[in-house]
Amino acid sequence: MSGLDAADAATLAMAAREAARTAYAPYSRFHVGAALLFADGAVVAAANVENASYGLSLCAEANAVAKAMGEGRRGGLLAVAIAGGRPDRAGSPAFGPDPVMPCGRCRQMLHEIAALGGTDPAVIGVAAGGLTQVALSALLPHAFGPANLV
Ligand code: THU
């Protein structure tokens, strides 16, 4: 993973924060946005969507992956930024002291679309003190994926 330069990472992080304004999170009141950057320059972003049956809630990253794959994207994933926190009056998350990193299920979902294109995307978490970048392969080592099912 080469990662994004600071300016591109900040731009993607802002797209994630903007996406978080569409969060439907009346139960946790924790708004999360995820923005996926693809090799063709496209950004696909989504927010978390909760349910009165709490366990059915969907993470921002899962929704962004489903949205991108629903548009026909298969691979080409360069980076994903995640912004999460308690919403301000505009519904945007206030940045906490620690970056929000994808949950285990979302790491696996991100691995699927990344593996289809052979990339190891940068995962960018946003916190009050700045951005943290880490390779998806470091968050999900020895991942199970499409290559295992040949
Ligand atoms: N959530 C995400 O959308 N992404 C994450 O990476 C962590 C958690 C959501 C799920 C739930 O709607 C809320 O944040 C609190 O867990």
Q: Please report, for the domain that includes residue 18, its CATH number.
A: 3.40.140.10
For residues 112 and 146, what is the distance between their CA atoms, to the nearest angstrom?
A: 7
Q: Kindly give the number of the ligand 1 atom that is closest to the alpha carbon of 28.
A: 15
For residues 69 and 63, what is the distance between their CA atoms, to the nearest angstrom?
A: 10
Q: Is the CB of 100 under 6 A from ligand 1?
A: yes
pLDDT of residue 63: 98
pLDDT values of the chain reduced to their tens digit, one per residue, 150 residues: 569 999 999 999 999 999 999 999 999 999 999 999 999 999 999 999 999 999 999 999 999 999 999 999 999 999 999 999 999 888 888 888 999 999 999 999 999 999 999 999 999 999 999 999 999 999 999 999 999 998
Q: Kindly give the number of the ligand 1 atom that is closest to the alpha carbon of 60.
A: 3
Query: CB neighbours of 1 closer than 8 A, spacing ≥ 6?
Result: 120, 121, 122, 135, 136, 137
Residue 113 lies in a domain: yes
Tell me which of 18, 61, 71, 112 is the catalytic residue.
61
Residue 36 lies in a domain: yes
Mutate to test the pocket of ligand 1, among 27, 49, 59 (most ligand atoms within 8 A of CB): 59
In the chain, how many domains are there? 1
Residue 45 lies in a domain: yes
Residue 22 lies in a domain: yes
Nearest protein CA to atom 14 of ligand 1, as residue:
30
pLDDT of residue 9: 98
For residues 67 and 83, what is the distance between their CA atoms, to the nearest angstrom?
A: 18
Using the mean position of ligand 1's atoms as its centre, give its distance from the Cα of residue 58 in Å: 7
Taking residue 52's Cβ as centre, other Cβ atoms within 10 Å add up to 8
Q: The whole model's pTM is what?
A: 0.96
The candidate with the shortest Cα–Cα distance to 103, out of 82, 73, 120, 87, is: 82
Residue 1 lies in a domain: no
Domain span at residue 16 reads 6-145
Q: Kindly give the number of the ligand 1 atom that is closest to the alpha carbon of 27.
A: 12
Q: Is the CB of 64 under 6 A from ligand 1?
A: no
For residues 37 and 40, what is the distance between their CA atoms, to the nearest angstrom?
A: 8
Q: Is 71 a catalytic residue?
A: no
pLDDT of residue 93: 86
* C-alpha distance across the termini of the chain, in Å: 25
Residue 47 lies in a domain: yes
Residue 150 lies in a domain: no
